[in-house]
Chains A and B, each alone.
Chain A
Amino acid sequence: MAAIEAEGLVKIYGGGKKSKEVRALDGVDLAVPEGTILGLLGPNGAGKTTAVRVLTTLLKPDAGSARVLGIDVLHKPNEVRRAIGLSGQYAAVDENLTGRENLAMVGRLYHMGKAAAAKRAAELLEEFALTDAADRPSKTYSGGMRRRLDLAAALVVKPPVIFLDEPTTGLDPRTRIAMWDVIAGLVKGGTTLLLTTQYLEEADRLADSIAVVDHGKVIARGTADQLKAQIGGERLQIVVSDRDRLAEAAELLGRMGTAEPRVHEPTREILLPVSGGAQLLVEAIRELDGLGIKIDDVALRRPTLDDVFLQLTGRSTEDEEQAGPEFGEGLEPAQAGQEGAVR
Chain B
Amino acid sequence: MTSDTLAPPVPLGGNSVLTALHDAWVVTLRNLRRMTRIPEIVVFSSIQPIMFVLLFAFVFGGAIPVPGAGGATAYREFLLPGIFVQTLAFTAATTSVGLADDLQKGLIDRFRSLPISRSAVLAGRTTADWLQNLFVLLVMAVCGLVVGWRIHDGFLKALGGFALLMLFAYAMSWIGATIGLSVRTVEAANTIGFIWIFPLTFLSNAFVPARKISPQWLQDVANWNPVSATVQALRTLWGNPDGYGPAAKMPWPIAHAPWVSLFWSLLILLVFVPLSVRKYRSVSA
A contact residues vs B (CB 8 Å cutoff): 53, 56-60, 78-79, 81-84, 86, 88-97, 101, 105-106, 108-112, 123, 127, 137, 153, 155, 157-160, 182, 185-186, 188-191
Contact = CB atoms under 8 A, between A and B. Distances in A.
Interface in B4-49: 4-7, 9-10, 13, 19, 22-23, 26-27, 29-30, 33-34, 37-38
Contacts of A101: 30, 33
Interface stretch (B72-80, B110-118, B142-150, B236-244): B110-118
B216 interface: no
B264 to A, nearest CB: 34
15 contacts: A58-B112, A81-B115, A84-B113, A90-B106, A92-B107, A92-B110, A96-B37, A97-B37, A106-B114, A110-B10, A159-B9, A186-B3, A189-B1, A189-B5, A189-B6
A310 to B, nearest CB: 32
A191 B7 CA distance: 11
A243 to B, nearest CB: 44
Contact of A95 (B6, B19, B105, B115): B105
B60 to A, nearest CB: 38
Chain B interface extent, by class: 35 or more
Given A97-B33, A108-B26, A92 B112 contact: no
A190 B7 CA distance: 12
A81 B6 contact: no
A113 to B, nearest CB: 11
Contacts of A190: 3-4, 6
B109 interface: yes
Interface in B257-281: none
B282 interface: yes
A191 B110 CA distance: 20
A94 B6 contact: no
A109 B4 contact: no
Contacts of B6: 158, 160, 189-191
Interface in B180-213: none
Given A86-B113, A94-B30, A185 B1 contact: yes
